[in-house]
Chains A and B, each alone.
Chain A
Amino acid sequence: MNRLFYGLIPICRKEALHIVRDPGTLFFALVIPMLQLFLFGFAVDTNIRQISTVVFDESHTQQSRELLQRFTASDVFDLRGTVQSPAELNEAIRSGKARVGVRIPFDYARHILDGTTASVLVLVDGSDSTVAAQAVSTATGVAMQQSLAQVIPTGNLPIDVRPSVLYNPATRSANFFVPGLVGILLQVMVILLIALSLVRERERGTLEQLTMTPVAPLGLMVGKMIPYGVLAFLELCAILFVMRVVFQVPIHGNVLVLLAMSIPFLLTVLGIGLLISTRARTQAEAFQLAMGTVLPSVFLSGYIFLVENMPVVFQAISRIIPTTYYIRILRGIILRGAGLGDLWLDGLVLTVMGCGAILLAARQFVRQRSA
């Protein structure tokens, strides 16, 4: 054991000195993730409201105004103006002035009064699929309500659905996105810092010197991981604090369990950083490789898109991305109040991944030092 990790303590101590000495490292580790948390935390809001809408109302009747009133009341549509021809309606959407165009034909009121089916045209700009989907579903709902009001003047509906959203009753986006963001921010910071630290040693020739000393590969790797791990852990605590206080995201589960289950994730991203550093010859190369891990973990980890909806191939890929498991842990504990009993498997997977990455990095390192 002692031989396997030979040199761990001096390496660890020296690495801590590097961190304390270099304002750049501290800034990158502590300030940048916090700035990003504020930036993305405030910017991301998937609840769609106030979609810009123009109207071409040929009917100009009490009935058409009633319908438009319902559109506005939904809070999803923002009536920005009226146009006087179908061409103008199309032009407003094409030019981006409006995302939705509503055309009420001249015979609308007559059909309503006759009891025959009146048609209303709703044009939706599909370039943003989320906005389009929201617009279509709300427009359909508005029409449905108006129709029901027409058919059943008493207002007593046969079925009354009362949805109750658990854990995030206000369906605030921040509650969903900020916990995931914690994982992404930690990952970027940790991978980059540790990869650069080892590659820097290679560039400056100190790594060559170390290989001539009795320091064991695992002593070097783990010795480097500890100070960066501690740094990342402190930043995690700070991020969670800001998440709770500034973004008002309630933590339903046990914070200590969350912190404990973050350790396997940190282990994994540290290991990935080390693996990258055995591949990269220069700091620029290490930077590029580290950044290459960001997009897959943003898009395939379930952070933004539901894993269950992905094609099978991508579901498989998402299963080898550590962030997938950590985001499950974060959301589970923070949003649903899940505990160790529900999430132990995710923790175990991360632990295995982490140890695997570290051992692989150590093996790569031994192979390379002789070349």
Chain B
Amino acid sequence: MTAAITADGLTIRFGTFTAVNNVTFSVDKGEIFGFLGPNGSGKTTIIKALCGLLRPTSGSGTILGMDILKDAAEIKRSVGYMSQKFGLYEDLTVDENIAFYAGVYGIKGHTAVERKREVLNLTGIEPYLQRRAGQLSGGWKQRLALACAIIHSPQVVFLDEPTAGIDPVARRALWDLLFRLSGQGVTFFVTTHYMDEAERCGRVGYIYLSNLVALGTVAELQHLPAANPEHTARIQIKTANPSALLDSVRRIPSVREATIFGHSIHALVESDQLDALRTQLPHASIVPIDPSLEDVFVTLTYRIMESHP
């Protein structure tokens, strides 16, 4: 299978500040690739570089086989982009917004009519065609933004935090849409803060302090040695009042990390101290678990913070 997106040693510096440091990854066609990282970690910068808006300081990349350094104009025609701000004109109607983006991508006549029908069917926004974009709810704005971003049938779509500030129903509706499109072969590159969203993605990259620190499927990341240090075990401690117990659990020397997770505590502990722990916490039930994606990223982040004080 050929790759839809590749980045090879991508490095971007602004003066002395390194925004993206030697990032390498590839995304297959039809894949939904999740890109996680805190604000300012370089996510948007990477998108800009891949779309040809920003010349990387070093390294290279391709989109659908096109070189990001040489074919910027071609790339822009073949990719869709939707940001957290949606990029809609609120004083224009839904219809006018779609027509504008169709025009901007040079889609005319019969093709324009057909594409419009397709995105309307896909997003179900047809009943609101004559409504001003500013009067739509957040969820509908997001669907309109997606309709505009895919009006030119792009094979690669970048979504930069597409679900920030959107209610859960609308979020799920958007993901359903993404899965349908990816089933048709469209590749998605999605940045997000939400772990549950990341877990929906086929593969996930985690960028921290300009470095890509983890990359793989959710299952691969969960079993990453760096996230599961030797001689440790990840456990769930079920107890009546986890928040009352948290502090005393954290004080136990064999506990490396502990955090509340719903009605239980998730902890990373020395594996040979597991039995001792059981006797120390007689009223709690302790079971081994796989780390969640959040556990993985927290552990990785701590490791980096320890090595770069």
Binding site for B on A (CB under 8 A): 3, 6-7, 9-11, 13-14, 17-18, 21-22, 204-206, 208-215, 369-371
- Decide if B53 touches A205 in the complex (CB within 8 Å): no
Asked if B256 lies at the interface with its beta carbon under 8 angstroms from chain A, I say: no
Asked if B189 lies at the interface with its beta carbon under 8 angstroms from chain A, I say: no
Query: Which residues of B are found within 8 Å of A205, using beta-carbon distances?
Result: 83-87
Q: Contacts A206-B87, A208-B83, A212-B81 known; A9 to B55 CB distance under 8 Å?
A: no
Q: List 9 A-B contacts (CB under 8 A).
A: A11-B104, A17-B96, A21-B92, A204-B85, A204-B90, A206-B85, A209-B83, A210-B104, A371-B14
- Decide if A214 touches B77 in the complex (CB within 8 Å): yes
Q: Within residues 69 to 104 of chain B, which ones have a CB less than 8 A from any CB in chain A?
A: 73, 76-77, 79, 81, 83-92, 96, 100-101, 103-104
Least CB separation from A209: chain B residue: B87
- Decide if A213 touches B14 in the complex (CB within 8 Å): no
- Decide if A370 touches B87 in the complex (CB within 8 Å): no
Q: Contacts A10-B104, A204-B90 known; A214 to B53 CB distance under 8 Å?
A: no
CB distance from B92 to the nearest CB of A (A): 6
Determine the distance from Cα of A204 to Cα of B92 in the docked complex, in whole angstroms.
14
Q: Contacts A13-B103, A213-B105, A370-B54 known; A208 to B89 CB distance under 8 Å?
A: no
Determine the distance from Cα of A371 to Cα of B15 in the docked complex, in whole angstroms.
11
CB distance from A27 to the nearest CB of B (A): 15
Determine the distance from Cα of A213 to Cα of B72 in the docked complex, in whole angstroms.
11
- Decide if A215 touches B89 in the complex (CB within 8 Å): no
Determine the distance from Cα of A14 to Cα of B51 in the docked complex, in whole angstroms.
24
Asked if B180 lies at the interface with its beta carbon under 8 angstroms from chain A, I say: no
Binding site for A on B (CB under 8 A): 14, 48, 51, 53-55, 73, 76-77, 79, 81, 83-92, 96, 100-101, 103-106, 158
Q: Contacts A13-B103, A17-B96, A370-B48 known; A212 to B53 CB distance under 8 Å?
A: yes
The one of A3, A10, A204, A370 that contacts B100, using a Cβ cutoff of 8 Å: A10
Query: Which residues of A are found within 8 Å of B86, using beta-carbon distances?
Result: 205, 209
- Decide if B51 touches A212 in the complex (CB within 8 Å): yes
Q: Which 3 A-B pairs have the closest CB atoms?
A: A209-B87, A205-B85, A10-B103
Determine the distance from Cα of A371 to Cα of B53 in the docked complex, in whole angstroms.
9
The one of A17, A211, A214, A369 that contacts B92, using a Cβ cutoff of 8 Å: A17
- Decide if B96 touches A213 in the complex (CB within 8 Å): no
Determine the distance from Cα of A3 to Cα of B72 in the docked complex, in whole angstroms.
13
Query: Which residues of A are found within 8 Å of B48, using beta-carbon distances?
Result: 370
Query: Which residues of B are found within 8 Å of A371, using beta-carbon distances?
Result: 14
Least CB separation from B132: chain A residue: A21
The one of B73, B76, B89, B91 that contacts A212, using a Cβ cutoff of 8 Å: B76
The one of A22, A211, A215 that contacts B91, using a Cβ cutoff of 8 Å: A22
CB distance from B290 to the nearest CB of A (A): 38
Determine the distance from Cα of A214 to Cα of B103 in the docked complex, in whole angstroms.
10
- Decide if B104 touches A214 in the complex (CB within 8 Å): yes
Query: Which residues of A are found within 8 Å of B101, using beta-carbon distances?
Result: 213
Determine the distance from Cα of A253 to Cα of B131 in the docked complex, in whole angstroms.
50
Apart from A17-B91, A208-B87, A209-B86, 11 more pairs, CB < 8 Å:
A3-B73, A6-B106, A7-B104, A13-B100, A14-B100, A204-B85, A209-B87, A212-B81, A213-B104, A214-B76, A370-B54
- Decide if B105 touches A211 in the complex (CB within 8 Å): no
Least CB separation from A212: chain B residue: B81
Least CB separation from A17: chain B residue: B92
- Decide if A9 touches B103 in the complex (CB within 8 Å): yes
- Decide if B53 touches A211 in the complex (CB within 8 Å): yes
Determine the distance from Cα of A6 to Cα of B105 in the docked complex, in whole angstroms.
9
CB distance from B169 to the nearest CB of A (A): 24
Query: Which residues of B are found within 8 Å of A7, using beta-carbon distances?
Result: 103-104
- Decide if B73 touches A214 in the complex (CB within 8 Å): yes
Determine the distance from Cα of A206 to Cα of B145 in the docked complex, in whole angstroms.
11
CB distance from B142 to the nearest CB of A (A): 13
Q: Contacts A17-B96, A370-B53 known; A214 to B106 CB distance under 8 Å?
A: yes
Least CB separation from A213: chain B residue: B104
Query: Which residues of B are found within 8 Å of A211, using beta-carbon distances?
Result: 53
CB distance from B31 to the nearest CB of A (A): 21
Determine the distance from Cα of A13 to Cα of B96 in the docked complex, in whole angstroms.
10
Query: Which residues of B are found within 8 Å of A22, using beta-carbon distances?
Result: 91
Query: Which residues of B are found within 8 Å of A212, using beta-carbon distances?
Result: 51, 53, 76, 79, 81, 158
Determine the distance from Cα of A211 to Cα of B72 in the docked complex, in whole angstroms.
12
CB distance from B49 to the nearest CB of A (A): 9
Q: Contacts A14-B92, A370-B48, A370-B53 known; A214 to B105 CB distance under 8 Å?
A: yes
Least CB separation from B49: chain A residue: A370
Least CB separation from B93: chain A residue: A17
Query: Which residues of B are found within 8 Å of A210, using beta-carbon distances?
Result: 87, 104
Query: Which residues of A are found within 8 Å of B85, using beta-carbon distances?
Result: 204-206, 208-209
Determine the distance from Cα of A7 to Cα of B108 in the docked complex, in whole angstroms.
12
